[in-house]
Chains A and B, each alone.
Chain A
Amino acid sequence: MNRTIIFVLISTVIVFACSKEKNEKTTGDIQIQSLTATLLKVKAWDTTLLTMEATGSNLQYGWEANHGSITGSGKTVKYAAGECCVGLNTITCRVFNETGEASDTIMIRVNSHYIPK
């Protein structure tokens, strides 16, 4: 009984301690032209508009920020980040369709909202 429990414990640790890194690939008829922001420096909680320009058929857009949040969807979205995310943040836009996927990143500097009195 004890050996079975120990075996289960070890197996659990092995299974959950292993993970894989995600790789992105660029393929298909998609060509990214630009990824731009209305503001490259913002104060915490202020917003900047991000726009991805790309060519290809039936394009879909995926967005991800390493810190901060993105609202909206499609080729133009809003990005904002609170005090937790002060610093140089990376936003990745993924463009994809049935032929493949391409991606680009843009860096937004978020400065502190707080000005000591």
Chain B
Amino acid sequence: MIRVLLFSIVLFINAAGVRTYAQCCASGNPFISDAEQPALQSKVLTASLTYRYSHSEQFYHNDSPYNDLNFSETANVNYTELQLAYGITNWLTVMGDLGYFFNKTLHTEGQDPMRGYGLGDAALYLKFNLYSNAKARFTISPSVGMKFPIGVFDQEVDNVKLPITVQPSSGSFKYLANVFISKGIAKKMALAGFVSYEYAQLIESENFYYKYGQQWIGAIYFNYRIIKNLSLDLQIRNEYRAKATRENSEIVESSGYNVTYITPQLTYAFKHNWYLSCFGDIPVYKYYNGIQMSFGYALSLRLTKKIDFITIQARKQASNSSN
């Protein structure tokens, strides 16, 4: 019965986004490249708070820096994201996240900076534990999800609307499907892979029409436990976004990209299931269609708390019985 209801929800999520009305569009929440996790066990809750700083500066034309512009422009973003995940059953985890931009600022030489801030997009995922073999340390966790443009998308300064590049929300409903596969390869090592697909819905209003290109993300993670409480993740990730479409089905030639990142990450496990991670996104290959400002780097800090309600309950029962 529960499976039927959940299947209905997935169908409903897809049917709900027939058409969106909005005023314009932006790129929305950044992809937080923290090592992905498999579906949780039943009655396990994880809550995490991530802070991310990113900086962009150099314009690119295809795979080369483009320096023929007679001005300079930089962009920086201070962003935070709250993520909650709960294992409803051993085979199903519900996960949600919500982004907030402290600032999304574009500095153009000779002009006042443009700064957007506020709530970004929210996301809801259903993550399934399709296959799990504890002995072989092998898991396959596919998930489906949806992003909701609940945040600020029409921010103004002195009655002038900010450009879409600094609006906190993407303005578009997005649908996601991904799969995470993890395999332990030695006592202290594990390998994992992650593939994600994102489809953005058309944004249409009286004088605005825009559709982001679809996005593919593929990542390989290498995890190594250095000491008991400290682990190192090394991630190689490729992000591909197709070109966007605007009014009259025109292709936006200077949109879409193919960027490969290396993301080193350190995670320390504290007492009582607290975890602190720091990681950075460093692009090692960049290809931008047309001319676009390219991604520079990002630094992130994540604090996670894990609560296992079954263990807590078992401890309480053990404590009561011993009394």
Partner of B22 from the list A19, A61, A77, A113 (CB cut-off 8 Å) is A19
Count contacts between A and B, CB distance < 8 Å: 114
Q: A22-B23, A64-B23 are in contact. Are A84 and B255 (CB under 8 A)?
A: yes
Q: How large is the interface on B (under 10, 10 to 19, 20 to 34, 35 or more residues)?
A: 35 or more
In the complex, the answer to whether A70 meets B254 with C-beta atoms within 8 Å is no
In the complex, the answer to whether B247 meets A114 with C-beta atoms within 8 Å is no
Interface set, chain A 40-96, CB cutoff 8 A to B: 44-45, 60-73, 77, 82-84, 86-88, 90, 92, 94
Q: How far is the CA of A73 from the CA of B161 in the complex (A)?
A: 10
Contacts of B291 in A (CB 8 A): 44, 82-83, 113-114
Pick from B88, B111, B157, B291 the residue with the most CB of A within 10 Å. Answer: B291
- The secondary structure that dominates the B interface is mixed
Contacts of B13 in A (CB 8 A): 13
0 or 1 for each of B176-214: is its CB under 8 Å from A? (1 = yes):
000000000000000000000000000001111000000
Partner of B146 from the list A10, A13, A66 (CB cut-off 8 Å) is A13
Contacts of B88 in A (CB 8 A): 2, 5
Q: How far is the CA of A94 from the CA of B86 in the complex (A)?
A: 47
Report the minimum CB–CB distance from B9 to chain A (whole Å): 6
In the complex, the answer to whether B21 meets A90 with C-beta atoms within 8 Å is no
B160 adjacent to chain A (CB < 8 Å): yes
Contacts of A16 in B (CB 8 A): 122, 148, 150
- The secondary structure that dominates the A interface is mixed
Q: A10-B9, A88-B247, A114-B291 are in contact. Are A66 and B208 (CB under 8 A)?
A: yes
A12 adjacent to chain B (CB < 8 Å): yes
A21 adjacent to chain B (CB < 8 Å): yes
Residue of A nearest to B156 (CB): A62
30 residue pairs A–B, Cβ–Cβ below 8 Å: A2-B2, A5-B94, A13-B13, A13-B16, A13-B124, A13-B146, A16-B150, A19-B21, A45-B69, A45-B71, A62-B159, A62-B161, A63-B160, A64-B160, A67-B164, A70-B160, A70-B161, A71-B111, A72-B160, A73-B157, A73-B159, A77-B160, A84-B165, A84-B252, A84-B292, A86-B252, A87-B247, A87-B250, A92-B207, A114-B61
B residues at A contact (CB < 8 Å): 2, 5-6, 9, 12-13, 16-17, 20-24, 61, 69, 71, 86, 88-89, 94, 111-112, 114, 122, 124, 146, 148, 150, 156-165, 173, 205-208, 246-247, 250, 252-255, 290-292
